[in-house]
Amino acid sequence: MPADRLRIALWQCRSVADDVEGNLDRLEQAASEAAEADADLLITPEMYLTGYNIAPSTARRLADPVDGKLGDAVGNIARRTGIAILYGCAELDGSGVYNTVRLVDADGISLASHRKTHLFGEIDRDAVAVGVSSPPVIDVGGWSLGLLICYEVEFPELVRDLAVRGAEVICVPTANMPEYDAVQTVLLPARALENTVYVAYANYCGVEGDLAYGGLSEGIGPDGRVLARAEREPGLLIVDVERKVLDDARERFTYLADRRTDLLS
């Protein structure tokens, strides 16, 4: 029987580059705060553990192997605080460095990972290789979560594919800038409504090097309604995902059921 509710904590924080140990300490503090708020899942921004606006050499130096010690450390944090965590990092696999999100459950067990498939400008292309696998859909607490990273959610076909594969909540660690606020104010409500899914979007705020981040982390309901939206400052945003709201939205907005797949290429 699917759970009636999933409580998600979206962590809007400042990016601190090249301070992995400090970032782990801050992550444990955020996870403890989220757990105290009775959240089931904490979502960090994109490449949280290493910083996002970093040189290619720094990304390679800080990148965690697939079964590396940073993954173990986050698993221990999840186990100590009793909350699932979706976090971003640079990941090393062979000679390749990837922009990756990893999901661990409240027992610290690795559930899934995803490498960014749609890279944003030279800042991504200089530092990381492109992911080649479709984003996963994974169960957490009786809810099907689809995993995307930042720029990917701006491509409607990616979100639609996740929804068709059963995703009910699209989780998006991100590093978005103020000049692209339209993503939060226009695109995300549309993505949620047209696919009747929840969207949980966790962004940075503040400045990292020469890059400013726009905040506006938010949770969107499956009817396109903004459930909660942060401002520009750091904070923890709590969003409740509810089964009845999802069921009602899918009964009212029947886009998924009404698709003419025979006309699609």
Residues annotated catalytic, as ranges = 46, 116, 150
Residue 202 has which token pair? 């966790």
Residue 29 has which token pair? 């503090």
The amino acid sitting at 60 is R
In sequence order, what are the residues at sequence separation of 6 or more whose Cβ sits closer than 8 angstroms to the Cβ of residue 247? none
Q: What is the DSSP string of 153-209?
A: GGSHHHHHHHHHTT-SEEEEE----GGGTHIIIIIHHHHHHHHT-EEEEE-EEEEET
CA of residue 111 relative to chain centroid, distance: 14
Residue 236: closest CA among 16, 39, 5, 22: 39
Q: Is residue 94 packed enough to be buried (19+ CB in 10 Å), middle (13-18) or exposed (0-12)?
A: exposed
Q: What is the DSSP string of 35-88?
A: HHTT-SEEE--TTTTT-SS--HHHHHHHPEETT-HHHHHHHHHHHHHT-EEEEE
CA 224 vs CA 35, 134, 176, 198: distances in Å:
27, 25, 20, 8
